[in-house]
Amino acid sequence: MTDLDSIRATLLAEAAAADSLDTIEAVRVKALGKQSGIAALMKTLGGMAPDERQRQAPLIQGLRTEVSDAIAARKVALEAAALDARLAAERVDMTLPVGTGAQGSIHPVSQVMDELAEIFADLGFAVATGPEIETDWHNFTALNIPESHPARAMHDTFYLREGQNAKQAGTADERETRTLLRTHTSPVQIRTMLSSSPPIRIIAPGRTYRSDSDATHTPMFHQVEGLVIDRGIHMGHLKWTLETFVRAYFERDDIVLRLRPSYFPFTEPSAEVDVGYTLDKGRRTIGGATPDGWMEILGSGMVHPKVIAACGLDPAEWQGFAFGCGIDRLAMLKYGMDDLRAFFDGDLRWLRHYGFAALDVPTLSGGVGA
Ligand code: PHE
């Protein structure tokens, strides 16, 4: 047997025997590297007579190619086997129920929004939405808050308008169409009245923005708007709806509401609504037939005739009530958080503590806060 034949036999056997990607790589380095037998054979070509070299060179090159191809083929086979093994090991059976391995949780704000949708769906309310970037007209003017109105100052508005100071926008038209981050969900009242016809019964949960930040205020927060437009609607409908909603939400029948006369430009008359709480060893609990104190939870009133008219409806024919309520505050009162800022820190420990299991869908029969 020549040198070539024995090298060939040894290397091909080693390649065929390699049973892992690591071993085939070791075989490759040993067979084709600088210290290999083939490299040594290549070096002998230099010292050969020309006709000898002409005979030997193709043989040595042929050996190199043959071994190199065998190693590459073995490597491909081993890679395919490794992939098959991995696919088999990592197989996920999508038909299995979600197990204890589930990681995510539902944020309390999302949970409360789901609870609100559930409660109001039962009362015949649909869920409406509107853009977070609003026009001045939808957010203020159509809601009977004209340019000079002091209520504008109370809203700490974030204006959006490139290249100029939005507060000093030139013409009246420019002012109406300038954009801002909505300061409340009330513009959804306007959008709903413009895009549909009465009777209307909607809630509109969503993000709102004001330039304000402390333990109970964040620049982004959440509100839910309620709007009913129909014939013959009065404050009694408003009060019953709010009582029914608050009792369902806190899951207690002994909740007392107090309607305090108030002022909003877009409702007349207007009422702020307080919920009664009782004190137990210094702890406040929402509910109790004889409250120890009151906590404000929302603003409300009868939709102002000017707002109804601004949406192209006849206020002599259509009346309605509206309310707006802070969702984050509702969540804090029900689930016992005391700092609003932690809601939006994205801290996993907080989410694990206060979050809800993904499959706990609120239902009226199971309890919305389950
Ligand atoms: N938009 C008001 C606020 O943000 C709340 C409100 C809504 C009051 C609807 C009355 C009617 O304070």
One digit per residue, the tens of pLDDT, for the chain of length 370 reads 477 888 899 999 999 999 999 999 999 998 888 888 888 888 888 888 999 889 889 999 999 999 999 999 999 999 999 999 999 888 877 887 766 666 788 999 999 999 999 999 999 999 999 999 999 999 999 999 988 887 777 678 998 865 445 556 667 777 777 899 999 999 999 999 999 999 999 999 999 999 888 877 899 999 999 999 999 999 999 999 999 999 999 999 999 999 999 999 999 999 999 999 999 888 889 999 999 999 999 999 999 999 999 999 999 999 999 999 999 999 999 999 988 889 999 898 999 999 998 877 888 888 888 6
Q: Say how far residue 257 (Cα) sits from the centre of its chain.
A: 33
- Residue minimizing CA distance to atom 9 of ligand 1: 323
- Residue minimizing CA distance to atom 5 of ligand 1: 324
Q: CA–CA separation, 235 vs 245, rounded Å?
A: 15
Structural contact between residues 158 and 211, judged by C-beta atoms closer than 8 angstroms: yes
Structure tokens at 267: 């409702």
Reduced to 3 states (helix: H, G, I; strand: E, B; else coil), residue 179 is strand
Atom of ligand 1 nearest to the CA of 299: 8
CATH code assigned to 108-353: 3.30.930.10
Task: Compute, in angstroms, the gap from residue 302 CA to the centroid of ligand 1.
Answer: 11
* E strands in the chain: 126-127, 133-135, 159-160, 179-181, 200-209, 220-230, 257-264, 267-280, 283-286, 293-303, 319-326
Please report, for residues 123, 191, 300, the alpha-carbon distance to residue 202 in angstroms, rounded to integers and kept in the order given: 10, 11, 14
Q: Nearest to residue 115, comparing CAs of 291, 107, 18? A: 107
Task: Compute, in angstroms, the gap from residue 266 CA to the centroid of ligand 1.
Answer: 8
Structure tokens at 161: 């308008």
Q: CA–CA separation, 324 vs 247, rounded Å?
A: 17
Q: CA–CA separation, 40 vs 31, rounded Å?
A: 11
- Is the pTM of the predicted complex or chain greater than 0.75? no
- Residue minimizing CA distance to atom 7 of ligand 1: 324
Structure tokens at 168: 């000093």
Residues with CB under 6 A from ligand 1: 184, 186, 264, 267, 299-301, 322-324
Task: Compute, in angstroms, the gap from residue 164 CA to the centroid of ligand 1.
Answer: 29
Atom of ligand 1 nearest to the CA of 189: 9
